[in-house]
């Protein structure tokens, strides 16, 4: 129990440091990173071979996902985007592409969400790959999230359904760290995409 408490108390400190580093990034560096993420992401076999990808719309200083979403959509990939529910769980709806920007609407917490028909929280179980937001990943593939717990629920739902999609996190290059504090509910990802390229994890 003491070890678990220590691990959980380390997470807020690491989150603060990583968020401060993101806040210092220039608009130009963020735009360059988003272009690189899209280029490397569409070449990732787990995404290139997927028919359905559960993703998310980046906001603020997050590594940009819009170019990657558009590239996947242009390839005919069905892209599902999350809709935050009042209990922090996630519903899902289809991304309709850059030709329909009005189909993404501002929501709570600064998020952009699709306005199309809701498909239900179980819709993520149809995904061949899931793009997870995060703040860091370590050499074991352990991901540090924002702490809201929404994607912990997604991963638990996939496990209950017996689904094993490719789990991919998009980060800036310096967010691949030596170690991420780990708790029992944490789950390793299969790969990380950064502007520098792709790293896969054998432990996932």
User: Does pLDDT of 62 surpass 90?
Assistant: yes
Q: Is 184 annotated as a binding residue?
A: no
Question: What is the greatest pairwise CA distance in the chain?
Answer: 52
SS (H, E, C) 50-104: CCEEECCCCCCCCCCCHHHHHHHHHCCCEEEEEEECCCCCEEEEECCCCCCHHHE
Res 172 pLDDT > 90: yes
Range list of H helices, the chain: 2-23, 27-43, 45-48, 66-74, 150-160
Residue 149 counted as an annotated binding residue: yes
Mean pLDDT of 59-84: 95
Q: Is 19 annotated as a binding residue?
A: no
**146 annotated among ligand-binding-site residues:** yes
Q: Is 103 annotated as a binding residue?
A: no
The pLDDT of residue 146 is 84
pLDDT top residue among 25 and 99: 25
Average pLDDT, the chain: 91
44 appears as a binding residue in the annotation = no
Annotated binding-site residue? 15? yes
Greater model confidence, 69 or 10 = 69
Instruction: Name residue 132's beta-bridge partners.
Output: 169
Residue 104 annotated as binding site? no
**Does 90 count as an annotated binding residue?**
no
Predicted local distance difference test score (pLDDT) of residue 204: 42
14 is in an annotated binding site: yes
Residue 172: partners with Cβ closer than 8 Å, 6 or more residues away:
21, 22, 25, 33, 63, 194, 195
72 is in an annotated binding site: no
Backbone angles phi, psi at 194, to 5 degrees: -125, 170
0.85 exceeded by pTM: yes
Tell which wins on pLDDT, 147 or 113.
113
CB 169 within 8 A of CB 132: yes
CATH of the domain at 68: 3.40.50.10420
Residue 133: its pLDDT value, please? Answer: 95
In this prediction, residues 38-67 reach a mean pLDDT of: 94
> Comparing 106 with 9, which gets the higher pLDDT?
106
Question: What per-residue confidence (pLDDT) applies to 128?
Answer: 98
102 is in an annotated binding site: no
Name the domain count of the chain. 1
| 4-44 pLDDT tens trace | 455 667 889 999 999 999 999 999 999 999 999 999 999 99
Query: Residue 97, annotated ligand binder?
Result: no
Instruction: Determine the average pLDDT of the residues in 197-201.
Output: 94
Range of the domain at 94: 2-200
Q: Is residue 86 exposed (0-12), middle (13-18) or buried (19+ Cβ within 10 Å)?
A: exposed
Percent of the chain predicted with pLDDT > 70? 95
Residue 1 binned pLDDT confidence (cut-offs 50, 70, 90): very low
Cβ-proximal residues to 80 (8 Å cutoff; 6+ apart), any chain? 52, 53, 54, 55, 92, 93, 94, 95, 119, 123, 124, 126, 127
- 163 carries a ligand binding annotation: no
């Amino acid at each position: 129990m003491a070890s678990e408490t220590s691990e959980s108390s380390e997470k807020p400190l690491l989150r603060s440091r990583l968020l401060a580093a993101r806040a210092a990034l220039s608009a130009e560096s963020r735009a360059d990173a988003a272009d690189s993420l899209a280029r490397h992401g569409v070449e990732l076999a787990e995404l290139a071979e997927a028919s359905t990808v559960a993703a998310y719309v980046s906001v603020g200083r997050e590594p940009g996902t819009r170019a990657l979403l558009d590239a996947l959509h242009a390839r005919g990939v069905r892209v599902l985007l999350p809709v935050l529910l009042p209990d922090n769980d996630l519903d899902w709806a289809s991304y309709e592409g850059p030709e329909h920007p009005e189909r993404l609407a501002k929501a709570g917490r600064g998020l952009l969400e699709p306005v199309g028909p809701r498909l239900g929280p179980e819709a993520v179980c149809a995904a061949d790959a899931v793009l997870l937001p995060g703040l860091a990943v370590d050499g074991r593939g352990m991901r540090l999230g924002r702490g809201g717990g929404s994607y912990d629920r997604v991963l638990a739902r996939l496990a209950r359904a017996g689904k094993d999609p490719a789990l991919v996190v998009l980060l800036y290059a310096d967010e691949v760290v030596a170690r991420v504090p780990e708790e029992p509910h944490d789950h390793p990802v299969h790969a990380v995409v950064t502007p520098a390229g792709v790293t896969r994890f054998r432990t996932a």
